[in-house]
Amino acid sequence: MTILIDQPELGVEAGVNKLDNADNELVLDGGFVVPQTNSFGQTFRDYHVESERQQGVENFYRTNHINQTSDFVKRMRTEYGKLNKMEMGIWECCELLNDVIDESDPDLDEPQIEHLLQTAEAIRKDYPNEDWMHLTGLIHDLGKVLLHPGFGELPQWAVVGDTFPVGCAFDKSIVHHKVAKGNNTTLPPAALFIIRYHSFYALHKSGAYRHLMNEEDTENLKWLQIFNKYDLYSKSKVRIDIEKVKPYYLSLIEKYFPAKLRW
């Protein structure tokens, strides 16, 4: 899907992580405690720990890097740019993701909607006035619905995993050596940048491919780096009461998306 954007003012500067010296736990600005380990008891995004899960992740990326070619990406842009697969509300899409297990993710085995809400609620605590970021946290992984039969049932290697630019030299920082315009959202450009590039770790973690950025990319990257700590480190066993927070997120969906999404 693609997005037509208005550009509201962004009213918050980048937050700063704080370290609680008493127990050596990282605490975000609003009091959200960063867990030390992921759902499997391992360090976050550790692609080298020997385990059954890690072997599957490695096999996924091997297939991903072989098949994600420039020609393939061009074909997918043409096919999915038609927005003729499905019409569905955002919350319905979130619920569909409960059937998805991301083969590329070494950190998470909870239902996807829990990850979305953990991310959104952690941001909400630290940035209560930036509701566009709360909604961005909720929808940042909605592209995974392309795995669902109703949206084309693409293979996992075509949908999930870390982002990298095709047609460029393969940077060593890559793991294992327009999404909403037609739906008339009023989310700001930074939100769209986050959704598109939150898995582009080679850029925002390792600094690769910065020569491809323009000034707007540089500004939006600041927001992505804020967002990323919530996307990654909210992958914990903290459970969210879905029914309790659902009305709030439905109100944000109504505010920023005037109609059901066309995919």
171 is in an annotated binding site: no
140 is in an annotated binding site: yes
> 36 and 26 in contact (C-beta within 8 Å)?
no
81 is in an annotated binding site: no
- CA distances for 243 relative to 113, 117, 145, 240, angstroms: 12, 11, 22, 9
- CA distances for 187 relative to 58, 65, 130, angstroms: 35, 32, 11
What is the maximum alpha-carbon separation in the chain? 54
Please name the residue that has the structure tokens 């070619």: 69
222 is in an annotated binding site: no
99 is in an annotated binding site: no
70 is in an annotated binding site: no
How far apart (Å, rounded) are the C-alpha atoms in residues 126 and 234?
A: 13
241 is in an annotated binding site: no
Distance of CA 55 to the CA centre of its chain: 23
144 is in an annotated binding site: yes
Which residue, 1, 2, 4, 26, is CA-closest to 184? Answer: 4
219 is in an annotated binding site: no
* Burial track 213-222 (b if 16+ CB lie within 10 A, e otherwise): eeeeeeebbe
Assigned token pair, 179: 């999404």
115 is in an annotated binding site: yes
199 is in an annotated binding site: yes
What residues are designated binding site for substrate? 45, 102-104, 144, 161-162, 198-199
Residues of the binding site: 45, 102-104, 115, 140-141, 144, 161-162, 198-199, 231
- Binding site as annotated, residues for Fe cation: 115, 140-141, 198, 231
